[in-house]
């Protein structure tokens, strides 16, 4: 009974729930778009506002994915949180642009498509069949309603329609594949000499005059951040106590009202053989395909094995390998004509030819699971939880009005609000405009805290909704404005920065001297003959090599082809400050023609996929080029490059 997925069929949860969805969005830099702001949204895309809460959730989801991917090596202190926030917001912008595009192009997701997608998720199944009760229970545990999940999932599926169309229609010609393969499979060999910063550590000094000069010129870099402490009260529905007794008569009425949630509709297992009808087929072509299906039906009637014919003849790539088996499914999933045939047949019976928009089917029912109603006794505890949760929600909305009134009528204190609703007044840690621990993790709280009415006038905030059924009223307790830290407090920091800079400059200077001599015609062996530093040889490597360091490999592949009798040379500063001089010695192109036909076909397909991703990225870039993307706190409307 998949249409019992509440008729509210709409949604997306791609990045949070169960890892069932992902969208390949190209990343484009936000650069200066992100800055401090105190508005109620994170970004506006062509007039559509993306809330601070949505941006924070996207960031948290990105952080969770990163933690999962890195496992035990994950270290929050080493993560560039600003860059991760920009990336998360970038994903939201890309998604919104694609949603606006599919809306403009008239893309749509049917209720049947959405129901089929949801019913395919193993987590929502019980005894191999979709369970409405399990579906709602899992979503409830994730803090989602079915309508919200379905709305999000439909948005995800809409953008997938657009992107999949681009990815699947991109096609590389053999000539293009050959040219790209020769470059992609190219191997290079280079020699390199490293000037490590470690050997210069004791060769540089930093004077007091340099320290004082750097401090004066960069005083803004040594400001202590503006900080605040807040008092606050929280109203959370789950924390409210409801003084009601729940009797079986009430629960039975609730059970009867929600009965469809506890019914697993009849499920049928079927297998089929499909003779597909191409979209551009004329009547004559369709009739030929009908005759082809009729011949298959006659073979079955003569005793040929259904599964063997399905494996060899069926045009359904998703089921032919398993002999045409479609597994168990309920009503509302398949095409109407297909479904009618399946639910008319008895177990073991085979249909005549059934035509749908996909083509001609021959169907055989292989299993039947009757409708199952979960008895009241088995879900009584769940009904109690649902009843009490609904009562708490009602109480929450009542208290929410009381909280707003108390905070407004007594703007200079939280005592009235706390006493009237029996709430505890809490105190935050120090927070900055970038957030902080505890309630500082909510961007809505930070936005409210730095508004003039709270920060300058000292009034209570309005109730701030930080999550479903979770509101917070805040007021300023302490405020420390940003100010320059004295030189004595930052002297060690300034000294370290200047020392590191001078050491790096010395390493680069020594490397540049060698580089200039190489460009003048001297050989690397001659110049390094009397040096203690050793010249290393990469050997023949490809683009994916991780040895030597990836920065060196990338630099080697950026360098021009060596001229006859001369190496191509370049210098590069590594992230740790070491300076490396590279001499490119040899380039060997990949040989596409020497690959087997199977390998050439595989390479062509992979390059087509790369081309498709490039075209999808170009689409997002083009949408950005014409979009008005507003970041709060800036004086103008900006467009992403």
Higher pLDDT, 144 or 296: 296
The percentage of the chain sitting over the pLDDT mark of 90, rounded to a whole number, equals 31
Ranges of CATH 1.10.4030.10 domains, the chain: 2-177+619-630
Q: What pLDDT score does 192 carry?
A: 93
- Peptide bond preceding 548 in cis form (omega within 30 of 0): yes
Side-chain half-sphere exposure of 181, counting CA atoms within 13 A = 23
The pLDDT of residue 593: 77
Q: Give the SS3 label for residue 24.
A: coil
Query: pLDDT tens-digit profile of 310-344?
Result: 999 999 888 888 999 998 888 878 888 999 999 99
Lowest average pLDDT, out of 141-150, 227-236, 331-340, 357-366, goes to 141-150
Tell me the average pLDDT across 533-559: 89
Identify whether the C-beta of residue 131 lies closer than 8 Å to the C-beta of residue 264: yes
The CA–CA distances, whole Å, from 627 to 155, 250, 637 equal 20, 54, 10
12 near 21, Cβ under 8 Å?
yes
Instruction: Please name which of 93, 132, 397 lies closest in space to residue 259, comparing C-alpha atoms.
Output: 132
Taking residues 18-47, report their average pLDDT.
48
What pLDDT shows up at residue 527?
81
| Res 331: pLDDT | 83
DSSP per-residue string spanning 457-469: T-PPPPPEEEETT
**Looking at beta carbons, which pairs linking 131-140 to residues 24 or more positions away fall under 8 Å?**
131/264, 132/1, 132/4, 132/5, 132/260, 132/261, 132/262, 132/263, 132/264, 133/261, 133/262, 133/374, 133/379, 133/382, 135/5, 136/261, 137/382, 138/17, 139/17
Kindly tell me the sign of the dihedral angle through the C-alpha atoms of 37, 40, 41, 42.
Answer: positive
pLDDT at 352 over 90: yes
User: For a pLDDT cut of 70, what percent of the chain falls above it?
Assistant: 90
Reduced to 3 states, what is the DSSP secondary structure of residue 474? strand
- pLDDT digit string, tens, across residues 72-121: 666 666 677 778 888 888 888 988 898 888 888 888 877 777 887 888 88
| Alpha helices for 201-324 (secondary structure H) | 208-217, 248-257, 283-301, 306-313
Contacts of 284 (CB under 8 A, 6+ apart): none
Domain topology for 2-177+619-630? Triger factor/SurA peptide-binding fold (1.10.4030)
Q: Residue 633 CB: number of other CB atoms within 10 A? A: 12
Q: What pLDDT was estimated at residue 634?
A: 53
- Residue 20 has a pLDDT of 31
pLDDT of residue 209: 94
Residues 6+ apart with CB under 8 A from 55: 42, 43, 85, 88, 89, 92, 443
**Partners of residue 337 on adjacent β-strands:** none
Beta bridge partners, 224, equal 483
| Helix 174-184 × helix 597-625 angle, to 10° | 90
Residue-level pLDDT at 76? 61
**Helices 52-70 + 81-105 axis angle, to 10:** 120
Q: What's residue 573's pLDDT?
A: 92
Rounded distance between C-alpha atoms, residue 20 and residue 24, angstroms:
14
The per-residue pLDDT for 142 is 66
Residue 317 phi, psi (nearest 5): -65, -20
pLDDT (tens digit per residue) in 611-634: 888 888 888 889 988 989 887 765
pLDDT, mean of residues 197-225: 89
Between residues 577 and 161, the one the model is more confident about: 577
Q: Report the pLDDT value the prediction gives residue 17, as an integer from 0 to 100.
A: 34
Q: State residue 30's pLDDT score.
A: 33
- Per-residue pLDDT tens for 454-511? 999 999 999 998 888 899 999 999 999 988 888 988 899 899 999 999 999 999 999 9
CA 264 to chain centre: 33
Q: Which long-range contacts (CB under 8 A, 24 or more apart) does 411-420 make?
A: 411/459, 411/460, 412/458, 412/459, 412/460, 413/460, 413/475, 414/231, 414/232, 414/233, 414/460, 414/473, 414/475, 417/233, 417/460, 417/473, 418/233
Decide which of 1.10.3470, 3.40.1050, 3.10.50, 3.40.50 is the CATH code for 227-247+377-481: 3.10.50
Mean pLDDT over residues 160-166, rounded?
82
Q: Which residue has the higher pLDDT, 594 or 417?
A: 417
Q: What is the mean pLDDT of the chain?
A: 82
Entry field: residues in the chain: 641
Q: How far apart are CA 369 and CA 387, in angstroms?
A: 31
Q: Is the model more confident about 349 or about 18?
A: 349
pLDDT recorded at residue 605: 79
**pLDDT tens profile 433-464:** 888 999 998 888 988 898 889 999 999 999 99
H/E element, 70: helix 52-70
Please name the residue that has the structure tokens 């899992």: 138
DSSP code, position 182: H
Query: What CA–CA distances, in Å, run from 122 to 22, 113, 126?
Result: 17, 17, 8
Q: Which CATH class is domain 266-370?
A: alpha beta
Tens-digit pLDDT profile for residues 254-302: 888 878 777 777 889 999 999 999 878 889 999 999 999 999 999 999 9
pLDDT band at 51 (very low <50, low <70, confident <90, very high): confident
Which DSSP category does 260 fall into? G
Q: Is the pLDDT of residue 566 over 90?
A: no
Q: Please say if the pLDDT value at position 8 is more than 50.
A: no
The residue among 449, 446, 628, 635 whose CA lies nearest residue 56 is 446
| Both structure tokens of 7 | 């008729």
């Amino acid at each position: 009974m998949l249409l019992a997925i509440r008729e509210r069929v709409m949604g997306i949860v791609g990045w949070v729930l169960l890892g069932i969805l992902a969208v390949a969005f190209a990343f484009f830099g936000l650069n200066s778009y992100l800055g401090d702001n105190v508005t109620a949204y994170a970004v506006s895309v062509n007039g559509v506002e993306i809330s601070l809460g949505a941006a924070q959730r996207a960031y948290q989801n990105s952080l969770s994915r990163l933690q999962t991917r890195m496992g035990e090596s994950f270290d929050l202190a080493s993560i560039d949180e600003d860059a991760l926030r920009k990336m998360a917001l970038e994903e939201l912008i890309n998604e919104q642009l694609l949603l606006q595009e599919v809306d403009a192009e008239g893309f749509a997701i049917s209720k049947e498509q959405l129901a089929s997608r949801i019913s395919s998720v193993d987590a929502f199944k019980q005894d191999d069949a979709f369970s409405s009760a399990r579906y709602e229970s899992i979503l409830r545990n994730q803090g989602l309603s079915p309508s919200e999940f379905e709305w999000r999932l439909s948005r995800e599926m809409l953008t997938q329609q657009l992107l999949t169309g681009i990815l699947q229609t991109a096609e590389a010609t053999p000539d293009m594949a050959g040219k790209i393969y020769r470059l992609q499979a190219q191997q290079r060999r280079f020699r390199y000499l490293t000037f490590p910063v470690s050997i210069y550590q004791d060769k540089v000094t930093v004077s007091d005059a340099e320290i004082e000069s750097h401090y004066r010129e960069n005083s803004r870099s040594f400001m202590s951040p503006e900080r605040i402490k807040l008092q606050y009260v929280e109203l959370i529905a789950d924390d409210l106590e409801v003084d009601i007794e729940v009797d079986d008569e009430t629960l039975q009425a609730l059970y009867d009202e929600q009965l469809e949630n506890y019914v697993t509709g009849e499920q049928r297992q079927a297998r089929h053989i499909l003779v597909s009808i191409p979209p551009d087929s004329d009547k004559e072509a369709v009739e030929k395909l009908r005759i082809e299906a009729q011949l298959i039906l006659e073979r079955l009637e003569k005793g040929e094995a259904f599964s063997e014919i399905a494996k060899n003849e069926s045009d359904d790539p998703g089921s032919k390998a398993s002999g045409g088996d479609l597994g168990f499914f309920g009503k509302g999933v398949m095409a109407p004509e297909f479904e009618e045939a399946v639910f008319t047949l008895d177990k073991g019976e085979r249909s005549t030819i059934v035509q749908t928009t996909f083509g001609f089917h021959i169907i055989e029912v292989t299993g039947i699971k009757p409708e199952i109603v979960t008895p009241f006794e088995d879900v009584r505890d769940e009904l109690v939880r649902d009843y009490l949760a609904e009562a708490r929600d009602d109480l929450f909305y009542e208290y929410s009005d009381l909280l707003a009134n108390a905070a407004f009528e007594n703007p200079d204190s939280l005592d009235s609000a706390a006493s009237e609703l029996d709430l505890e007044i809490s105190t935050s840690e120090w927070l900055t405009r970038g957030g902080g621990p505890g309630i500082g993790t909510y961007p809505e709280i930070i936005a409210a805290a730095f508004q003039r009415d709270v920060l300058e006038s000292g009034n209570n905030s309005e109730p701030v909704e930080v999550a479903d059924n979770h509101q917070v009223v805040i007021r300023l307790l302490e405020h420390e404005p940003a100010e320059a830290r004295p030189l004595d407090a930052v002297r060690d920091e300034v000294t370290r920065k200047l020392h590191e800079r001078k050491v790096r400059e010395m390493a680069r200077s020594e490397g540049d001297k060698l580089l200039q001599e190489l460009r003048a015609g001297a050989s690397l062996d001659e110049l390094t003959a009397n040096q203690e530093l050793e010249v290393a040889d990469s050997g023949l490597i490809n683009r994916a090599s991780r040895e030597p360091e990836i920065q060196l490999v990338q630099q080697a592949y950026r360098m021009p082809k060596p001229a006859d009798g001369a190496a191509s040379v370049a210098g590069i500063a590594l992230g740790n400050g070491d300076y490396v001089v590279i001499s490119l010695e040899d380039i060997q192109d990949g040989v596409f023609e020497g690959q087997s036909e199977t390998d050439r076909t595989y390479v062509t397909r992979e390059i087509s996929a790369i081309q498709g991703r490039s075209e999808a990225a170009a689409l997002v870039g083009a949408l950005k080029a014409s979009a008005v993307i507003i970041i709060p706190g800036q004086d103008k409307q900006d467009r992403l490059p």
